[in-house]
A and B are shown apart, each in its own frame.
Chain A
Amino acid sequence: MTNKPIPVPAPGTPLSWHLPHPYSTRHLLVVIVLLALLLLTGHRTEMDRMVIMTTQAVGQLLGLSSDSQVVRGLSRVGQSMWPPAITEMEEVNRLPELDRDRLPMFSYVEKRQQTEQRMNLETLQLEAQTETIEVLVKPVGYLWTVFVKMLETLEIAIWGTLLAVLLSAPLAYLAASNYSPRRWTYTLARGTVSFLRSMPELIVALFLVLAYGFGPIAGVLALGLHAAGFLGKFYAEDIENADKKPQEALEAIGAGKLKTLCYGVLPQVVPQYVAYTAYILDRNLRMATVVGLVGAGGIGQELKGRFDMFQYDHVATILIAIFLFVFALDQLSARIRAKLI
């Protein structure tokens, strides 16, 4: 067998190849235009003012400038947030059914001096009056309230996620271009998924509160519908991008689409599905606190009430609780994921 040598051009032959630079003046022009657009939108979104105010704040912290609106605002809120509220106090004379011999666990009755501005009807002037009132003090009462509300929020998030998974499973099957039975089912499913995803939870919750009234139903439905849009899209795209080899093997023996999906695709995409679902649960937990603001149940309702009453110490407790819950759930989902992969 004779081996042919690799062809090499004779010395002196002009090279017909050409490798251009990676970018040219045209690219530079595009960059300049983009920068100009960025500057314009930056001005419209007050990014310039943001930079100035932040610089002032940093300057004040470093002792360079005398006053900063940002630092003033933050420190005022910060001071009233610390320490976070833990105890709960209620006036005894507002609790007619209180049995003094059998107080709730850990709570006690305390006498307190309270100063109030009252109108003196004779002089028609405001006078400070000090009176002694009895209050029922629950040392960790507010912590307990927050915990119960947080649990309700978690339940809303879990049911919202469950609803999203149930809704998105058929949607994903129809929205995967290689499994959708007809062209129109694909278009319809994709349209539904986009529609659900484009509706913000808060707006949906507003309407659902009108329909179902105050409470967790509106919250669960709002979270579930929005998340179904997300999950439907992600599930469908994973089905489309899954390894084709096992699917081909099952198609070759005529297994049918649904069975091929179950035996050739789903086992392969389980880790991604778990990751998406865990993310949606995490997101729903955060969003469940927000949809409460419009009356859809959970800790959001509590948060909004306290915020409107300027009780920032209570707000601080709620925020810390939300952070701890999200963090704990993160750890948990990381562990579940590690087991399933």
Chain B
Amino acid sequence: MIRFEEFDKAWPDGTLALGNINLEIPRGQFCVVLGPSGAGKSTLLRAVNGLIKPTRGRVMINGAELNISSQRLLRQQVAMIHQHFNLTTRMSVANNVLAGLLPVVSTARALSGWFRPEHRAKACRMLEEVGLAPEHLKRRAGDLSGGQQQRVGVARAFMLNPQIVLADEPVASLDPKISRDILSLIRDAAREHHTTVVCSLHQTDLAREFGDRIVGLRDGAIVFDGAPAEFTDACIHSLYSGAQWETPSEHSDAASTHLTLAHA
């Protein structure tokens, strides 16, 4: 379970990336974060594994606060899938997937590349689960197609059986068919391991198709939070066009905020 408590993040120049975020994501949920570019989606995701430190407030993971001292252990439970795959392109696919285990592998084993047999077997099984073939193992990650690279990224993310997977626009550079494949892959793997997924997206149709819940961000604030069914076309238009949201300020309970639209 992830909980943001009065979370603020300001950049050094004073602009507020995220302001007063209160958000709770229960275990096993596929939560999609939507919003225009610069709304703070990446910042929200990166706050969960401590890549971004809060200016105010805190992030709790399973009841433990994320800070400098707890970060190292908590990060092992939080995997990340990146927009640009972030693979070591000149390294083999096998080593890229094994790199997902680095936090729990001894330095000597990591530096020599001599991983335990069960770790090797796990890497093979993960690669098989994401739909790659054995002949891909030895190939350089950079030689694969975009879709295949993201499959490697997904395999790497699930190597440590994480409780939380952060997917930062995992399909932004992929075509619609492959995007759907990758998202199903993440969803199925997450269901199997009972993993929480926080996934930022740009495609509203995919968000409605895959999300258990949609969080709409704009200008660093949560402006929509609800089930995919409640996320209407009018919401999409309003989220991206810059029109005003009318937030019912009296009962602004973040989990059940229901938004009405001003004239869009």
Partners in one complex: yes
CB distance from A34 to the nearest CB of B (A): 39
Residue-by-residue, is B33-46 near A (CB-CB < 8 Å gives 1, otherwise 0)? 00000000000000
Among residues of B, the one whose C-beta sits closest to the C-beta of A255 is B102
Q: Report Cα–Cα, A264/B100, bound state, in Å.
A: 11
CB distance from B2 to the nearest CB of A (A): 15
Size of the chain B interface, CB-CB below 8 angstroms: 34
Name the contact of B51 in the complex, choosing from A245, A248, A262, A268 (C-beta under 8 A): A248
Say whether B75 faces chain A, with CB atoms less than 8 Å apart. Answer: yes
Among residues of A, the one whose C-beta sits closest to the C-beta of B49 is A252
CB distance from B122 to the nearest CB of A (A): 15
CB distance from B73 to the nearest CB of A (A): 8
Say whether A249 faces chain B, with CB atoms less than 8 Å apart. Answer: yes
Q: Report Cα–Cα, A210/B80, bound state, in Å.
A: 59
Q: Is the CB of A267 within 8 A of B72?
A: no
Q: Report Cα–Cα, A260/B91, bound state, in Å.
A: 13
Say whether A254 faces chain B, with CB atoms less than 8 Å apart. Answer: yes
Q: Report Cα–Cα, A15/B16, bound state, in Å.
A: 35
**Most A CB atoms within 10 A — which of B76, B91, B99?**
B99
Interface-located stretch among B5-13, B103-111, B131-139, B222-230: B103-111
Name the contact of B88 in the complex, choosing from A252, A254, A267 (C-beta under 8 A): A267
Name the contact of A253 in the complex, choosing from B75, B84, B90, B153 (C-beta under 8 A): B75
CB distance from B124 to the nearest CB of A (A): 18
Say whether A1 faces chain B, with CB atoms less than 8 Å apart. Answer: yes
Q: Report Cα–Cα, A187/B132, bound state, in Å.
A: 46
Say whether A163 faces chain B, with CB atoms less than 8 Å apart. Answer: no
CB distance from B153 to the nearest CB of A (A): 8
Q: Report Cα–Cα, A263/B92, bound state, in Å.
A: 10
Say whether A251 faces chain B, with CB atoms less than 8 Å apart. Answer: yes
Q: Is the CB of B87 within 8 A of A246?
A: yes
CB distance from A248 to the nearest CB of B (A): 6
Chain A binding surface, main DSSP class? helix
**Most B CB atoms within 10 A — which of A253, A255, A267, A270?**
A253
Chain A, 234-290, CB within 8 A of any chain B CB: 243, 245-246, 248-256, 258-260, 262-264, 267-268, 270
**Most A CB atoms within 10 A — which of B82, B88, B95?**
B88
Q: Is the CB of B99 within 8 A of A250?
A: yes
CB distance from B92 to the nearest CB of A (A): 9
Say whether B161 faces chain A, with CB atoms less than 8 Å apart. Answer: no
Say whether B237 faces chain A, with CB atoms less than 8 Å apart. Answer: yes
Q: Report Cα–Cα, A260/B87, bound state, in Å.
A: 12
CB distance from A119 to the nearest CB of B (A): 75
User: What bracket does the count of chain A residues touching chain B fall in?
Assistant: 20 to 34
A residues within 8 A CB of B87?
246, 249
Q: Report Cα–Cα, A90/B248, bound state, in Å.
A: 108
Say whether B86 faces chain A, with CB atoms less than 8 Å apart. Answer: yes
Residue-by-residue, is B221-244 near A (CB-CB < 8 Å gives 1, otherwise 0)? 000000000000000010001000
Residue-by-residue, is B63-90 near A (CB-CB < 8 Å gives 1, otherwise 0)? 0000000011101101110101111111
Q: Is the CB of B88 within 8 A of A256?
A: no
Known: A245-B84, A263-B88. A256 touches B102 (CB 8 A): yes
A residues within 8 A CB of B76?
253-254
Q: Is the CB of A253 within 8 A of B79?
A: yes
CB distance from A290 to the nearest CB of B (A): 36
CB distance from A167 to the nearest CB of B (A): 19
Q: Is the CB of A245 within 8 A of B99?
A: no
CB distance from A258 to the nearest CB of B (A): 6
B residues within 8 A CB of A245?
82, 84-86
CB distance from A89 to the nearest CB of B (A): 57
CB distance from B89 to the nearest CB of A (A): 7
B residues within 8 A CB of A246?
86-89
B residues within 8 A CB of A264?
88, 99
Q: Is the CB of B82 within 8 A of A248?
A: yes
Q: Report Cα–Cα, A248/B86, bound state, in Å.
A: 8
Among residues of A, the one whose C-beta sits closest to the C-beta of B73 is A254
CB distance from B218 to the nearest CB of A (A): 18
Among residues of A, the one whose C-beta sits closest to the C-beta of B157 is A253
Among residues of B, the one whose C-beta sits closest to the C-beta of A261 is B111
Q: Report Cα–Cα, A12/B15, bound state, in Å.
A: 38
CB distance from B105 to the nearest CB of A (A): 8
Residue-by-residue, is B16-43 near A (CB-CB < 8 Å gives 1, otherwise 0)? 0000000000000000000000000000
Q: Is the CB of B72 within 8 A of A263?
A: no
Known: A246-B88, A249-B80, A252-B75. A1 touches B237 (CB 8 A): yes
Mark A residues whose CB is within 8 Å of B.
1, 243, 245-246, 248-256, 258-260, 262-264, 267-268, 270
13 A-B pairs in the complex with CB atoms less than 8 angstroms apart? A246-B88, A248-B51, A250-B102, A253-B76, A253-B79, A253-B102, A254-B71, A254-B103, A259-B102, A259-B111, A260-B102, A263-B88, A267-B90
Lowest 7 A-B CB distances belong to which pairs?
Answer: A254-B75, A249-B86, A255-B102, A267-B91, A245-B86, A246-B88, A252-B80
Given contacts A267-B88, A268-B88, 17 further A-B contacts (CB under 8 A): A249-B80, A249-B153, A252-B75, A253-B75, A253-B100, A253-B103, A256-B103, A256-B107, A258-B107, A259-B102, A259-B105, A262-B111, A263-B88, A263-B102, A264-B99, A267-B90, A267-B95
